[in-house]
Amino acid sequence: MDLGCHEGYPGHHTFNALLESRLVRERGWIEFSVFPLFSPMSLIAEGSANYGQKIAFPGASRVRFEQDVLFPLAGLDASDADRYYRLEELRGRLTYAGNEAARQYLQGQMEREATVDYLVQNQLVTVDAASKKVDFIDRYRSYVINYNVGRDLVGAYVERLAGDDPERRWAVFVELISSPRLPSDLLE
């Protein structure tokens, strides 16, 4: 669900298809046919890709769909699903430790080994997973914050404008991902 919504619908593929259709084709703004990865746009791109699942599956509908359709398809026992969702929610809060690890590592305050250790301790990941995260930080640097800070930014914006009306949320979300925006436009 995370991967499908993030990469496909209503995440990256939808975002890029809408930019291409509304800005490049309808308006002829050729510069939007290029997506600069290391740019302010990525905070909104990754943030909306992560938040999009809440738009496509509002309220309890994601859990219902997973329990009714995906768990049986995968041969998983759905009776323990509540614990899984609780764990997932708690683990989600730990993602911010990754931002802090990246900050200290990139500023030269923490060596690689200490950063791996920090992630193991604070994000509750394996050494192998932590090491891969440091590889990601080496390559993409502060890009790591786009996923959680971006999701929070997009979520706060959509919820501020649309309240908890699912249809209104869709409308605000679609408008957001099909128009040229900077992260500062989303602040109050």
User: Interacting stretch for Zn ion, rule CB under 5 A, among 40-48, 116-124, 160-168, 179-187?
Assistant: 40-48
Q: Per CB under 5 A, which of residues 3..22 are in contact with Zn ion?
A: none
**Least Cβ distance, residue 147 to Zn ion (angstroms):** 7
What is the spatial distance between Cα 35 and Cα 19, in angstroms, rounded to a whole number?
10
Cβ nearer to Zn ion, comparing 47 with 115: 47
| 9/84 with CB nearer Zn ion | 9
Residues 112-141 that bind Zn ion (CB under 5 A): none
CA dist., res. 43 & res. 23, Å (int): 19
Q: Which is nearer to Zn ion, 151 or 169 (CB)?
A: 151
Tokens of residue 55, six digits: 């738009």
The residue type at 148: N
Minimal distance in Å, beta carbon 136 to Zn ion? Answer: 12
Nearest residue to 68 via CA among 59, 78, 60: 78
User: Whole-number minimum distance, CB 151 to Zn ion, in Å?
Assistant: 11
Amino acid at 130: A
Q: How many CB atoms lie within 10 A of CB 1?
A: 13
Q: Applying CB under 5 A, which part among 17-25, 46-54, 70-78, 88-96 lies near Zn ion?
A: 46-54
Smallest gap from residue 53 Cβ to Zn ion (A)? 12
In sequence order, what DSSP letters do the residues of 46-112 get, joined into one string? HHHHHHHHHHHSTTTHHHHHIIIIIHHHHT--GGGHHHHHHHHHHHHHTHHHHHHHHHHHHTTSS-H
Task: Compute the least distance from the CB of residue 70 to Zn ion, in Å.
Answer: 21
CB 99 within 8 A of CB 134: no
Q: Which stretch binds Zn ion (CB under 5 A): 42-50, 101-109, 122-130, 134-142?
A: 42-50
Binding site for Zn ion (CB under 5 A): 46, 49
